């Protein structure tokens, strides 16, 4: 692949201008504008500059952008309390905890308290429905941690709860699983879906966000309406009972994932940037047939 120069500043400005127009359209329609809160602990000079630039970019786009300044002496619990308060603020759509934080604060513990919208309600309801139908014939596993982890454990006493897993442990879990359930409606790039596919797992996921770039319903998994717990439960039962279909989808998922390499991704990215600069953004998708042909069935 030959190297190509991309004007990053021009592309970034085009994207900012587009976001600004969308925010103005929300205002004109009488709707709430997006909100990004930034939490900074201490007086690190580089962090101060970085946060100020973020704040100015949000203001230029017309977004709500509060900055919460905490002293370097703030305790870890005090920082977590601020994050939890922001989780419940209806004006805030995103939370950024600026790193680094002072050494006495565990940054992972703080970030784990940011409520990422993975739609655990749909996961819980679908697991309960599937368990009512299939009982102990299936082994239900929940991986991940966060503010609602205790409530999920209480709602799903029949499931195995693994908590936060590092990459090696997560790879082992993928290898032991038969299918992957992912109801999140806010995923951006859908990397976790590709990770599951690379392990040969058919994916049951919400047909929203970045997941749509990788999931081909009926081929490498099942794409379902977001928030539809009944549909998720039915899909779990369908693939749990139909081993032949599950195996075929797993093979197609593996073939799709191994064909997604960096060269192809970058080749597909440049025309998307060019399209964004021209003011006519398009969604790029590589046909599954090409992926299977190039990747082969493993």
Task: Give the per-residue pLDDT at 114.
Answer: 77
Q: Which residues, listed in sequence order, are joined to residue 182 by a DSSP beta bridge?
A: 205
Q: What angle do CA 131, 134, 140 make, to 5 degrees?
A: 50
DSSP single-letter state for residue 33 = P
Provide the 3-class DSSP secondary structure of residue 141: strand
Task: Give the per-residue pLDDT at 286.
Answer: 45
pTM above 0.75, yes or no: no
- Tokens in use for 166? 């590092």
Are the C-beta atoms of 210 and 188 separated by less than 8 Å?
A: yes
> CATH topology for 120-295?
Rossmann fold (3.40.50)
Domains 30-111 and 120-295 in one fold: yes
Instruction: Give me the residue spans of the domains in the chain.
Output: 30-111, 120-295
- CA neighbours closer than 13 Å in the CB half-sphere of residue 25: 6
DSSP single-letter state for residue 136 = G
Give the N- to C-terminal CA distance of the chain in Å, as an integer: 26
CATH code assigned to 30-111: 3.40.50.10860
Task: Give the per-residue pLDDT at 290.
Answer: 39
Residues 151, 260: Cα–Cα separation, whole Å: 36
Are the C-beta atoms of 184 and 165 separated by less than 8 Å?
A: no
Task: Give the per-residue pLDDT at 2.
Answer: 64
Q: Give the Å distances, CA to CA, from 194 to 164, 197, 203, 231, 285.
A: 19, 5, 9, 22, 14
**Tens of pLDDT along the chain (298 residues)?**
566 677 778 888 888 888 899 999 999 999 999 999 999 999 989 989 989 998 999 999 999 999 999 999 999 999 999 998 898 888 888 899 998 999 999 888 888 777 666 678 899 999 999 999 999 999 999 998 777 788 899 999 999 999 888 878 989 999 999 999 999 887 767 788 999 999 999 999 999 888 888 999 999 999 999 999 999 999 999 999 999 999 999 999 999 998 887 677 677 777 777 776 666 555 444 444 433 443 433 3
């Amino acid at each position: 692949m030959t190297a190509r120069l991309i004007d990053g500043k021009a592309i970034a400005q085009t994207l900012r201008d587009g976001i600004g127009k969308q925010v103005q359209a929300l205002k004109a329609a009488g709707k709430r504008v997006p909100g990004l809160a930034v939490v900074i602990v201490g007086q690190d000079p580089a962090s101060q500059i970085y946060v100020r630039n973020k704040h100015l970019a949000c203001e230029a786009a017309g977004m709500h952008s509060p900055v919460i300044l905490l002293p370097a002496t703030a305790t870890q619990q005090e920082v977590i309390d601020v994050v939890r308060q922001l989780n419940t603020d209806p004006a805030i759509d995103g939370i950024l905890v600026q790193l680094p934080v002072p050494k006495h604060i565990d940054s992972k513990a703080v970030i784990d308290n940011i409520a990422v919208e993975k739609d655990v309600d749909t996961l819980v309801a679908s697991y309960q429905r599937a368990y009512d139908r299939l009982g102990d014939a299936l082994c239900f596993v929940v991986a991940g941690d966060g503010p609602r982890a205790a409530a999920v454990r209480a709602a799903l006493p029949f499931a195995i709860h693994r908590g936060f897993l590092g990459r090696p442990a997560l790879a082992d879990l993928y290898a032991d699983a038969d299918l992957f359930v992912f109801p999140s409606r806010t995923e951006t790039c859908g990397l976790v879906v590709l990770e599951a596919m690379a392990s040969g797992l058919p994916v049951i996921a919400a047909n929203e966000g970045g997941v749509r770039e990788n999931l081909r319903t009926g081929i490498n998994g099942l794409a379902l309406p977001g928030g539809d717990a009944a549909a998720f439960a039915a899909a779990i039962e369908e693939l749990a009972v139909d081993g032949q279909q599950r195996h075929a989808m797993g093979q197609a998922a593996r073939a799709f994932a191994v064909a997604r390499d960096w060269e192809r991704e970058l080749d597909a990215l440049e025309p998307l940037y060019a399209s964004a600069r021209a003011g006519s953004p398009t969604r790029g998708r590589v046909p599954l047939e090409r992926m299977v042909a190039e990747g082969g069935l493993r």
